[in-house]
Structure 1
């Protein structure tokens, strides 16, 4: 409407004035409803062309978007394993900080496994003490068998020396018995050596390995007990959280709730512009927006980042070829904005849908390129035409509550 009124002032109004005062034609007499097109065809045609050109120029250099929102992050509340809820520490819509406990699962099975591991460790410790005594007993038997072997060898050697001097005193059967006794003593000594080695190996390797296994089982059980208590990973607000003791939790089929995380840093809003605005929306661009959550308020924003890709072109490799005609939606240009005055966005809940208009500023471009005269005036005029969108966004801020509460 503003563009049409401006176009009429420089096209249709001069044409009417010329017809009235230069040609002497009067409205309602020479100029009637039936011949108004013929009489004012130049003014009407120029007005239409100028109005369309102005609207195109304004909306190109001052883009608008009704797709502005402030995203927020949610964290699903899950446990490591499924189980039955034993205790619940927070209520729905409670404010929690990072590290606060949320709920605990029943740990009877894990506690029993931990107690079993502790008993195994005590049993292994007792077996280690017994193994030291077994080593001492086996060493004593080894000493006795070695003494018997020495005695048997001495007896055999003595009888052999006697037999060499007087063969009639020592019989062949006696020498054979003494030789067998030496073999038996050597076997007993070897058995005692094996017993000592087995007892030593059991104390040095087998029992410590069993104790390590019991310690590992105890650590696993204690870890499962610790993981049975679910803590808040980030600070935020717990929502959709209706757990009661006795409920069954499954990390795949039934999460416990949702944690809406606090936003770190300044509030950011994402705006989706049409692709034709890709050459206009740049970092540092001024955006004015209004939100139904905070009516009658204009919030100045500044573009801090423009996404260099459009989501409509993304794809995931699969076993089917992609056909371009399947991509029906053209996609929008994503601009990330921050408020110039952070206090202005207070009262606008995250997730609110807002509307905004952008304003170009070519003053830096004019200065860098040294533009003067008509060229500089054209860029200044383009920047000045943004006042129409400024009027529009303020009118929308006034109309939004009326439209939502009365005409909806």
Structure 2
């Protein structure tokens, strides 16, 4: 309606003035309700053409959208394991700090596993002490076996010397028996040395490996016990937290609540039509008006334009996708930040706004090689942005009326 009124001032109104004061035609006589089209056909036709051109120019070069929100992140409160709630430490809508305990699961099984792991480590440490005693015992056995071997060798040497000096004085069977004793003593020495090496290997390799495995199991048991205590990952407000002792929580099926972290960004995410892809650029100046603060216009700047459209995304699945599933056109996502810090601090997280973005041809107009017709076109494009700005202010003015009165809220 506003565009028609503006266009009629330079089309229909001059046509009427020409008919009235040049041709002498009067309202109610030559110009009647039935002859308006015939008498003012040139003005009406030009008004319609100019209105359509103006609307197209305004909405193309100065895009607008009502799909703008102050998006925020939520964190699902979930334990890493299934379990029954033993104790809760917070209440609904309570503010929590990062690392603050939220609730604790029943940890009877984890405590038993931790105690078992500790006893296993203590058992291996006891075996290491025992192995050191066995090593000392093995050293003593080696000394004992070597002493017996030395006695047998001395006895064999004595008997052999006697037999060499007086042949027949010592029976050959006695000499052979002593030789067998020497061989037996040597075997005992070898066995004692091998036993000592086995104990040394046990002390140096087997028992440390078993202790490391037991300590790893102990650490795993401690981690499992720590997982029964669920803490806040970040600071924020706890929402939808209704757990009570005795409730069962499941990380796949039943979360414990939602944590809304502290506000980190005061920007907006806006979705513009795909036809605006050639116009929407980083650095564009815009204006927003929000339901949470009517009758207020806040300047913003486009800080990022997403180069993908969400409606075209493909995920791995076991079914082939039909291209008709992507027939619905998605929107181009743009990130908007307030031009001056703190201007959107009033906006609740998730609040909705209406956004206008304005094309700026200042840099293009600074080019000295630009033609006169191009300069006129760029000036006209920048000028019609005023109409869109006026429309946004009318929307801001009528927003409370539409929401509270006409919307029935």
TM-score, normalized by length of structure 1? Answer: 0.91
In the alignment, does 2:114 pair up with 1:114? yes
Task: Report Cα offsets for 1:181-207 as digits up to 9, x if no partner.
Answer: 223322332332233233333333333
Seen in structure 2, the aligned counterparts of structure 1 residues 120 and 47 have a Cα distance that, compared at 3 Å, is closer
TM-aligned CA distance change 1:172 to 1:261, over 3 Å: same
2:39 is equivalent to residue 39 of structure 1: yes
Counterparts in 2 of 1:158 and 1:11: CA distance versus 1, 3 Å: same
Q: Distance in 2 between matches of 1:229 and 1:402?
A: 51
Between the aligned partners of 2:91 and 2:167, the Cα distance in structure 1 is 106
1:237 aligns to what SS in structure 2?
strand
Alignment partner, residue 161 of structure 2 = 161
Matching residue of 1:393: 392
1:82-102 Cα shifts (integer Å, max 9, x gaps):
222233222222222222222
Matched residues in 2 for 1:323 and 1:119: separation?
A: 61
Match of 2:311 in 1: 312
- CA distance in 1: counterparts of 2:81 and 2:398, whole angstroms: 53
Alignment of 1:128 with 2:122, yes or no, is no
Q: Distance in 1 between matches of 2:402 and 2:346?
A: 20
* Count of residues paired in the alignment: 407
CA deviations 1:366-402 (Å, max 9, x no partner) are 1134547554344223222222222211111121211
Distance in 1 separating the partners of 2:374 and 2:178: 129
TM-score (norm 2): 0.91
Structure 2 equivalent of residue 70 of structure 1: 70
For residues 219-258 of structure 1, what are the structure 2 equivalents within 5 Å? 219-258=219-258
Instruction: Quote the Cα distance in structure 2 between the aligned partners of 1:11 and 1:143.
Output: 125
Structure 2: gaps (5+ residues): none
The 1:356/1:136 distance shift into structure 2, 3 A limit, reads closer
Cα distance change of structure 1 residues 76 and 170 upon mapping to structure 2, 3 Å threshold:
same
Cα shift at 1:323: 4.5
The range that moved more, 317-326 or 107-116, is 317-326
Q: Distance in 2 between matches of 1:42 and 1:136?
A: 120
Checking the alignment, whether the CA contact within 8 Å between 2:100 and 2:232 is kept in structure 1 is yes
Deviations 1:111-156 (A, max 9, x none): 2222223223333333333322222222222222221222122222
Q: Structure 2 CA distance, aligned partners of 1:386 and 1:127?
A: 86
Aligned CA-pair RMSD:
2.3
- Once residues 336 and 30 of structure 1 are traced to their aligned partners in structure 2, the CA distance between those partners, rounded to angstroms, is 57
Q: 1:298-337 residue pairs with structure 2 within 5 A?
A: 298-316=297-315, 323-337=322-336
Q: State the alpha-carbon separation in 2 of the partners of residues 38 and 213 from structure 1.
A: 100
Q: Aligned in 2, Cα 1:70/1:204: closer, same or farther, shift over 3 Å? A: same
**1-structure distance, mates of 2:199, 2:39:** 123
Distance in 2 (CA, whole Å) between partners of 1:155 and 1:205 is: 41
- Distance 1:344-1:202 versus aligned 2 partners, 3 A rule: closer
- Quick one: distance in 2 between partners of 1:352 and 1:80? 33
Structure 2 CA distance, aligned partners of 1:321 and 1:292? 42
Paired residue for 2:347? 348
Q: Distance in 1 between matches of 2:205 and 2:309?
A: 64
Report the alpha carbon displacement of residue 9 of structure 1 after superposing the two structures with TM: 1.6
